[in-house]
Amino acid sequence: MSITPDTRGRSMLDGAILGRALLDAVIKLDPRSLIRNPVIFVVEVVSVLVTAIFIRDLLAGGAAGFSGQIAAWLWFTVLFANFAEAVAEGRGKAQAASLRKSRSETIAKRIDESGHVEAVPGTRLRAGDVVLVEMGDVIPSDGEVIEGIASVDESAITGESAPVIRESGGDRSAVTGGTRVLSDQIKVRITAAAGSTFLDRMIALVEGAKRQKTPNEIALSILLSGLTLIFVIATVTIQPFALYAGGSVSVVLLAALFITLIPTTIGGLLSAIGIAGMDRLIRFNVLATSGRAVEAAGDVDTLLLDKTGTITLGNRVASEFVAMPGVDLYDLAGAAQLASLRDETPEGRSIVVLAKEKYGIRAHEMGELNARFVPFTAQTRMSGVDHGEVSIRKGAVEAILKLVGTGPVPKEWTEAVERIARAGGTPLGVARNGKLLGVVYLKDVVKGGIRERFAELRAMGIRTVMITGDNPLTAAAIAAEAGVDDFLAEASPENKLALIRKEQGEGRLVAMCGDGTNDAPALAQADVGVAMNTGTQAAREAGNMVDLDSDPTKLIEIVGIGKQMLMTRGSLTTFSIANDVAKYFAIIPAMFAATYPQLGALNIMNLATPESAVLSAIIFNALIIVALIPLALRGVRYRAVGAASLLRRNLAIYGLGGVVLPFAGIKAIDLLVAALGLA
């Protein structure tokens, strides 16, 4: 799976964001906010301590160069960690600022009980109020269209400039505050009070104002704190050991060893990774209500995908005419075309096209026929045309059979119907004047490349289940063609919910998307429920993500983003811990250079002097945070391969790499430090 990066072109190295982040990095030094990040908080405490020693050295008139440099780099370590978080937040803040513009004061036209329209400020609207929105007006708050139809420009939230249709009833009734009506007028019942609208929540989300640590992030923080504690024990006990050996180790050295050992790299980047994960979703035009949902997306085991629009193109296409014995195929095609001329559904149009392309039958001129068209209704389940003596009907197979009466059904008819159904198609009967002419094969066209997507998902260990209202026979055929692992035929909100519960009962995490009000229970039950932005308000409330593009295929990308976030965390944690090996080899010989010069044999990097060794280690430790910011924000690349090969690859890069790289890095810095005469 490939994750298309940044579609809205906000580069990470945006100058304004970086400038703001530099300032924020300093503001974040406030210990009250820093305490949320225990590892970096500890670094700050040690920085203060070493700075105090530096000042004491300075006042005593002694050599303060070394303690000064260590103190400076300790502060840099804190600042770099803050900077990482600030950059990650900066991207969201910039987006929030542009969103805020569309939330500017609106005047709403409220309709009171007697039907009078009065102008009130948008902020005074309450849930339940009904407002009139006319062409050119900004919709004042979130709501449900209760009357009318309008085209709405939702680019303020979706970034998509093409207008969308919003109408009362059905699944396209939700409107969002801050969007603009382009044509017609609608009456909207307000569902959200000012301050708690979708836009408000979106701003809060992208700003990270309400960001809470996810469960996995909390567990990771505990791990990092635990490691920090272990290294407190390891470094504090060194002093008595050294005293026994007849030497003593300066506090600055102990502080340096301690800071290089504790996992500052992942500690500094942890929150940036989380924010960047949310941000990546936002740039995919998906809003998650919590980081927890993003994390859950990475864990998803089962994807419930709606057939229509996700797996198939959505419209069925006529692909074959099957004539009954004694009926000319040309005749059948002509009759079917005639019956479909006024049928504006995609299926109807595809019949006209097929008859024209395959049999060269040109669409008849309607006027000269003087025909009367019979529209499709849910009761008759057929449509057709009457002109003169001729009456043509096309429609559901059972409806046509019922129409022609109780006579014997030709064997060929039954065969054709069954063959089409088995192949996943929909058979459509055609009759003329009570006589069966034949069957039209309406084919469900599976999207190109979707089979490969599912194979990828399978390799990732994710099961795909196709949800469809079709009968089991049809569903099975399409499921086989698309390569899904399972399907739910004749789906209803109830059995959809039951399926989710069953999967969850077996310990699986389920993701699904939906738009209708009747999807709401299933969306709420699913571990990851992605509501379509075109959907109803109920659906949007029930899910824990909203897809602004209303593209159900995106579920697959969402899973990828969740996985990417977890992988980035794991990789940088592994890297950070693996780094410790080299740091011991740099600092231990330096620390005891005076007491036990023999330990110089451990100086396998051949660092210039004890001071330069310690300084190089601490500089490396600080710079690696900055160097890894791009990776933390971009995320470790996710590939749709099995867990075993992912682990092998990442363990080689971040585990082994994490052991080896600091040896080279510290050595290079040492050469520089020695060349510049810093220590």
Residues acting as catalytic residues: 306
Residues in the chain: 679
Nearest to 592 by CA among 337, 244, 192, 279: 244
Span of 178-186, 419-427, 428-436, 579-587 interacting with another protein by CB under 8 A: 579-587
| By the rule CB under 8 A, 586 interacts with another protein | no
Residue whose CB is less far from another protein, 460 or 674: 460
Out of 22, 132, 599, 678, the residue judged to bind another protein by CB under 8 A: 599
User: How many C-alpha atoms does 451 have within 13 Å on its Cβ side?
Assistant: 9
The minimum distance between CB 612 and another protein, in angstroms, equals: 20
**Span from 51-59, 119-127, 198-206, 456-464 in contact with another protein (CB under 8 A):** 456-464
SS3 11: coil
| Of the candidate residues 588, 626, 660, 678, the single one contacting another protein (CB under 8 A) | 588
- Rank residues 217 and 470 by Cβ distance to another protein and give the closer one: 217
Describe the crossing of helices 291-299 and 554-578 by its angle, rounded to 10 degrees: 90
Among the residue ranges 200-208, 613-621, 626-634, 636-644, the one whose residues contact another protein (CB under 8 A): 636-644
Exactly one of 83, 441, 654, 663 binds another protein (CB under 8 A); that residue is 654
| Paired tokens of 607 | 């660092």
By beta-carbon proximity to another protein, the closer residue of 248 and 433 is: 248
For residue 591, the one-letter residue type is M
Shortest distance, position 303 Cβ to another protein, whole Å = 12
Residue whose structure tokens are 């964001």? 17
Determine, following the binding rule CB under 8 A, whether residue 571 of this chain makes contact with another protein.
yes
Using the rule CB under 8 A, which residue among 650, 661, 662, 667 binds another protein?
Answer: 650
Min. distance of Cβ 446 from another protein in angstroms? 23
DSSP state of 655: I
- Specify the pairing of strand 510-514 against strand 302-306: parallel
Measured from the CB atom, the residue of 376 and 596 that comes closer to another protein is 596
Residues 281-300 within binding reach of another protein (CB under 8 A) = 295, 298-299
181 makes contact with another protein (CB under 8 A) = no
Instruction: Give residue for tokens 């005047």.
Output: 107
- Residue 385 has phi, psi (to 5 degrees) of -145, 140
3-state SS class at 452 = helix
Q: Is 219 in the site for another protein (CB under 8 A)?
A: yes
Residue 602 gets which letter from DSSP?
G
Query: Dihedral, CA atoms, 229, 231, 234, 240, nearest 10 degrees?
Result: -80
Is 596 a binding residue for another protein by CB under 8 A? The answer is yes
Q: How many residues bind another protein (CB under 8 A)?
A: 74
Q: Which stretch binds another protein (CB under 8 A): 31-39, 86-94, 470-478, 565-573?
A: 565-573
Q: Which is nearer to another protein, 406 or 598 (CB)?
A: 598
Contact pick of 59, 598, 676, 677 for another protein (by CB under 8 A): 598
Given a contact cutoff of 8 angstroms between Cβ atoms, the answer to whether 319 and 443 are in contact is yes
Task: For residue 556, give the nearest of 453, 452, 446 by alpha carbon.
Answer: 453
The one among 432, 463, 496, 554 contacting another protein by CB under 8 A: 463
Cβ proximity to another protein: between 340 and 579 the closer is 579
Using DSSP bridges, classify how beta strands 545-547 and 286-288 pair: parallel, antiparallel or unpaired: antiparallel
- Told to check if 222 binds another protein by CB under 8 A, we report yes
CB neighbour list of residue 344: distance below 8 Å, 6 or more residues apart? none
Is 60 a binding residue for another protein by CB under 8 A? The answer is no
Indicate whether 301 belongs to the interface with another protein (CB under 8 A). yes
Q: What are phi and psi of 393, to 5 degrees?
A: -130, 140
Q: Among 21-29, 31-39, 59-67, 235-243, which window interacts with another protein (CB under 8 A)? A: 235-243
Stretch that binds another protein, among 17-25, 230-238, 360-368, 412-420 (CB under 8 A): 230-238
Out of 564, 612, 616, 621, the residue judged to bind another protein by CB under 8 A: 564
Which one among 20, 447, 458, 634 touches another protein, defined by CB under 8 A? 458
Closest CA to 561 of 618, 506, 637, 612: 637
Instruction: Write down the H helix ranges in 262-307.
Output: 264-283, 291-299
Rg of the chain on CA atoms, in Å: 33
Q: Which stretch binds another protein (CB under 8 A): 36-44, 107-115, 231-239, 537-545?
A: 231-239
Q: Give SS3 for 6.
A: coil
Site for another protein in 523-562 (CB under 8 A): 562
Report DSSP state, residue 17. Answer: H
Residues 248-267 touching another protein, rule: CB under 8 A, are 261
User: Rounded to the nearest 5°, which phi and psi values hold at 6?
Assistant: 10, 95
Q: What minimum distance in Å lies between the beta carbon of 73 and another protein?
A: 21
Stretch that binds another protein, among 204-212, 279-287, 419-427, 589-597 (CB under 8 A): 589-597
Sole binder of another protein in the list 563, 613, 614, 665 (CB under 8 A): 563
Amino acid at 528: V
96-115 positions binding another protein, by CB under 8 A: none
How far is 233 from 227, CA to CA, in rounded Å?
A: 10
Q: Which two tokens stand for residue 319?
A: 């692909």
Burial classification of residue 646, based on how many CB atoms lie within 10 Å of its CB (0-12 exposed, 13-18 middle, 19 or more buried): middle
CA 37 to chain centre: 26
Do 635 and 2 contact (CB within 8 A), yes or no?
no
Position 6 contacts another protein (CB under 8 A): no
Q: Does 506 bind another protein (CB under 8 A)?
A: yes
Q: DSSP strand E in 379-434: where?
A: 382-387, 390-396, 426-432
455 binds another protein (CB under 8 A): no
Q: By C-alpha distance, which of 165, 171, 173, 122 is closest to 147?
A: 173
CB of 234 vs another protein, minimal distance in Å: 4
Question: Do 311 and 481 touch, CB atoms closer than 8 A?
Answer: no
Q: Which of 517, 574, 612, 621 touches another protein by CB under 8 A?
A: 574
**CB closer to another protein out of 228 and 350:** 228
Binding status of residue 605 toward another protein by CB under 8 A: no
Residue with tokens 């569309």: 102
Choose, by CB under 8 A, the member of 19, 121, 226, 407 that binds another protein.
226
Residue number, 29 or 593, with CB nearest to another protein:
593
Q: Which is nearer to another protein, 80 or 654 (CB)?
A: 654
> Does position 218 bind another protein by CB under 8 A?
yes
CB 210 within 8 A of CB 202: no
Shortest Cβ distance from residue 635 to another protein (Å)?
10
Among 60, 233, 378, 676, binds another protein (CB under 8 A): 233
